[in-house]
Amino acid sequence: MIIEKISLHNFGPFYGDHEIKFNIAEKGVHIIRGGNGQGKTSLQRAILWSLYGKVLDRSGQPIRPTSLLNLNAFEDDIYEFWVTIFFKHNNEDWSVFRKMSSKIHSDSKYQENMILNVIKDGQIIAGSDSQHEIERLLPYHVSRFYFFDGEMLRDYEALLEQDQDSTKLLKDSIEYVLGVPYLKIAKEDLSFIEKQFEKERNKLIKKMGSSNLQEVAENLQSVMADIEDKEKLITVLKEQKDRLRTEILAKKRELADLSEVRDLAQSRLNLEMEIKDLDARKSQILAKMQIKVSGLYKTLLIPPAQNVISKLEIKSNDVLEAYNKRQELKNIVSRIEKDIAEQKCSLCGAILDQEKVINLEKELKEAYTKLELIGEVPEPPMDLVFYKKRLQGMISEAVQREDFVEINKDLSDIDYKIAVLSNKLTDIENKLSGIDSEMPKKLEIEIQDAVRELGRIDGLEEAAKEDLTELIKTKGEWERIMASIPQKELDELNKKIYCTSSLVQVFDDAISKYRDERRSDIEKTASEIFRQIRSKDEFDHLKINDRYGLSIITEKGKSLDRGEWRSSGEEQLVALALIGALNKCAQIKAPVFMDTPFGRFDTKHGEKVLKFLPKLADQVVLLVTDREFRKGDEAVLEENIRDDFTIKYLGENEGSVIKKTS
Amino acid sequence: MTNIFGDVRTLSASDKAKTCMKQLVVRGFFKEQVDVWRLGASLGILTGNVEKGEKRETFQNINSLDPESIFAAIMIGLHPELEPEDRLKLLVDHAEWGIREIFKQSEIGTLDFSKLGLPTNNNKNKI
């Protein structure tokens, strides 16, 4: 099967008519890009819904038809949606058209009015056969290996736990891929024929009327009825167990998601602590900065202060000089006046004669003149001196600008670290929003209850099987008695019963042998793929046990327990190797759709897986986000890219659209 | 000692300047509003810029803002010819401009104390 075109109408986020046409002239990889919530998973679901009329969400629950209708269509009161897939299979052109419509928005009404049209090479396939034809091309049970969701790889990784119960459904699906059920169906058909012969024989015995035979036949019939009842009981118990296992698996998956939540919560706590420490460090630096800043004004005032100091110096010096000169003259006047009055020199003590007195009077006059010239001189400007000293002191106390360079650097470093951590914190908080913290505990209790119930049903099944073994033994005894009674017609039936019974045994052995061979094929192919994408060279190959449990074998032949190499990226590699092998070994050829398959890979492993993809199937469709399929990844796929589309959600009014990537 | 600023004992500030000072303290650049005022006034004096006109109301006592009489010394040294009241008004005008400038730089993320008041390539003459 190679998908050529998909047409959608009002399906999921796709409002109105949309179409995606693949270039299938050559084998290769088709890329469909889109961020989260743009419509990639919905596109994959549209294909599955078109093929099977049902589609599951990520918790394994069916999505209701009312949830499949586009919201805008619903608001427009248009209650119809459809999907058509056009594909080629064995050189024949096929189309599958599925439509749901109703007058009211109701799940049951949509279901009632579902239309399925399957056309093969222009011939319409009759209604009841159409679903059967699809199942023949790609059985629903195996579709999970062709349309898989990277988010669901955990289911496959569960195989690595070697837990034989929890993955039974997955193992059954694997057997479907390998074709084991065809042999099982043949065996069941033969068992049915054997029972028919036995019933015929009983009727014959009754007809023959012999009392001996009658008694043996009645006993045989009674035992056979008991066997049938027991077989029915065992089937019912098995179904109950399957349901419980599915429930347990879903709950374990949910719990695993929540354990990631616990890890995230711890990371959030650590980040919050780191940010708190950085905030405290920042506060210390800010406090240091504030102290420096409080003195920075003095630094800024240095240039004007230097200017003022020099101005003040000039001004105060001028005033002081005049003051000192006047004071000196005043002293001279005072001395001369005293000498003249006392007629005695105050300097040498000599008595002054008339001539000397005249000279002194002359000197006094000159001093008066000079004093007059100087005029009034104010007191020395002590406040100017005070301010000058203040400013000089200020300059010596000023903060160094260079101190702020280091503070700025420290603050920038801390701000950067806080921003990085805050971004991480926001991511985690987004992931954690709306999660119930009590949920893990509730789930653990529910899982324990379900496991207990499973144990109880196991006990009932064991008891029923023991009873069945006893009944089969009793039946065998009655058959031996029956065989000892010679009757020709009866002999014929006995021979037929013997033949069919032998054939049942042959098919039983064949199933076991076929299963072993196919498992060996898968093991070889998975190992081959694993070597191409493995994370470590010392991991040599994969080993698959009889219940499809997986282990890694090292170069030295050691079988590694999952706990010894646990890493989500490596687990995903092993799961991908298994899926690749199942695709290659399957009897069915179909395209492989991979939705967000690289979520947990680093760049190196992402590249390895990308290189391997073109070998996985004739048509591989990658539904990827820009985070997992980055710029340059196209080069890794080399010449194998056939198409490159982008799904974009344009908003509430227009919904999602599919366009060629520009 | 001469009374450089006359009889006025308090300094005033506009509502805008008060808001800027408050914000700068909240953002952690400064410990107290008086630190913003002093740095703003010194930036205005250094660059010769003033902001006039807006209505102003009492902000702080002069002694609290200029306990070491540094602004008094600077203002008397730079403007001995002015009347004390005019000298005080000029100091307030410088502070108004400087406070707004610091706030503006913090808003656009260019506030760098190591370079505050130094000439820049873009604005050599202004700051």
**Residue A267 distance to chain B (closest CA, Å):** 29
* A280/A476 Cα distance (integer angstroms): 85
* A84/A70 Cα distance (integer angstroms): 16
A590 phi and psi angles, rounded to 5 deg: -145, 160
* A559 residue type, one letter: S
User: A405 to chain B: which residues are within 8 Å by CB?
Assistant: 114
**Residue A299 distance to chain B (closest CA, Å):** 9
User: B114 to chain A: which residues are within 8 Å by CB?
Assistant: 401-405, 408
Both tokens assigned to A380: 């020395």
Residue of B74, B103, B104 whose CA lies nearest to B91: B74
| Partner-chain contact B113 A408, CB within 8 Å | yes
Q: Give the pLDDT confidence score for residue B124 in this predicted structure.
A: 40
Check if B54 contacts A (Cβ < 8 Å): no
| Partner-chain contact A401 B114, CB within 8 Å | yes
| Partner-chain contact B1 A286, CB within 8 Å | no
* A417/A408 Cα distance (integer angstroms): 14
Task: Supply the angle between the helices A302-342 and B70-78 in degrees, to the nearest 10.
Answer: 80
| Partner-chain contact A308 B78, CB within 8 Å | yes
Chain A contacts to B (CB-CB under 8 A): 283, 286-287, 289-294, 296-298, 300-301, 303-305, 307-309, 311-312, 315, 382-383, 386-388, 390-391, 393-394, 401-405, 407-408
**Residue A325 distance to chain B (closest CA, Å):** 24
User: A385 to chain B: which residues are within 8 Å by CB?
Assistant: none
Mind listing the pLDDT tens digit for each residue in A323-379? Answer: 888 888 889 899 899 888 888 888 888 888 888 888 888 988 998 888 888 887 777
Name which of B39, B69, B73 is nearest A300 (Cβ-Cβ): B39
Name which of A294, A297, A388 is nearest B31 (Cβ-Cβ): A294
| Partner-chain contact A293 B39, CB within 8 Å | yes
Strand order in the sheet with A592-595: A147-149, A592-595, A619-624, A28-33, A641-649, A656-660
**Residue B37 distance to chain A (closest CA, Å):** 9
User: A379 to chain B: which residues are within 8 Å by CB?
Assistant: none
Q: Give the pLDDT confidence score for residue A546 in this predicted structure.
A: 67
CA A149 to chain centre: 11
| Partner-chain contact B68 A286, CB within 8 Å | no
Average pLDDT, chain A: 84
Mind listing the pLDDT tens digit for each residue in A556-607? Answer: 887 775 555 556 567 777 777 887 887 777 767 789 898 877 766 777 777 8
**Residue A380 distance to chain B (closest CA, Å):** 12
| Partner-chain contact A297 B39, CB within 8 Å | yes
Check if B8 contacts A (Cβ < 8 Å): no
Q: Which residues of chain B have pLDDT under 50?
A: 1-2, 123-127
Mind listing the pLDDT tens digit for each residue in A416-447? Answer: 999 999 988 888 888 777 777 677 778 888 98
Check if B41 contacts A (Cβ < 8 Å): yes
A64 in Cβ contact with A81 (< 8 Å): no
Q: Give the pLDDT confidence score for residue A486 in this predicted structure.
A: 65
Confidence band, pLDDT 50/70/90 cuts, at residue A184: confident
Give the highest mean pLDDT range of A38-42, A81-85, A118-122, A619-623. A81-85
The helix/strand/coil state of A488 is: helix
Average pLDDT over residues A454-458: 92
| DSSP string computed for A537-605 | TTEEEEEE-TT--EEEEETT-PEEPHHHH--HHHHHHHHHHHHHHHHHH-S----EEEESTTTT--HHH
A103 phi and psi angles, rounded to 5 deg: -85, -25
Name which of A296, A382, A393 is nearest B113 (Cβ-Cβ): A296
End-to-end CA distance of chain A: 29
**pTM for this entry:** 0.49
Mind listing the pLDDT tens digit for each residue in A378-408? Answer: 776 777 788 888 899 999 888 899 999 999 8
Name which of A300, A315, A402 is nearest B42 (Cβ-Cβ): A300
Residues 6 or more apart in contact with residue A89 via CB below 8 angstroms: A1, A2, A137
A309 in Cβ contact with A388 (< 8 Å): yes
| DSSP string computed for A333-382 | HHHHHHHHHHTB-TTT-PBP-HHHHHHHHHHHHHHHHHHHHH---PPP-H
Q: Which residue of chain B is at minimal alpha-carbon distance from A390?
A: B70
Q: Give the pLDDT confidence score for residue B127 in this predicted structure.
A: 40
Which of B30, B42, B65, B115 to substitute to test the interface with A, most A CBs within 10 Å? B42
ipTM above threshold 0.90: yes
**Residue of A47 and B121 predicted with greater confidence:** A47
**Residue A647 distance to chain B (closest CA, Å):** 39
Name which of B38, B45, B80 is nearest A304 (Cβ-Cβ): B45
* B79/B98 Cα distance (integer angstroms): 19
Q: Give the pLDDT confidence score for residue A157 in this predicted structure.
A: 60
Confidence band, pLDDT 50/70/90 cuts, at residue A221: confident
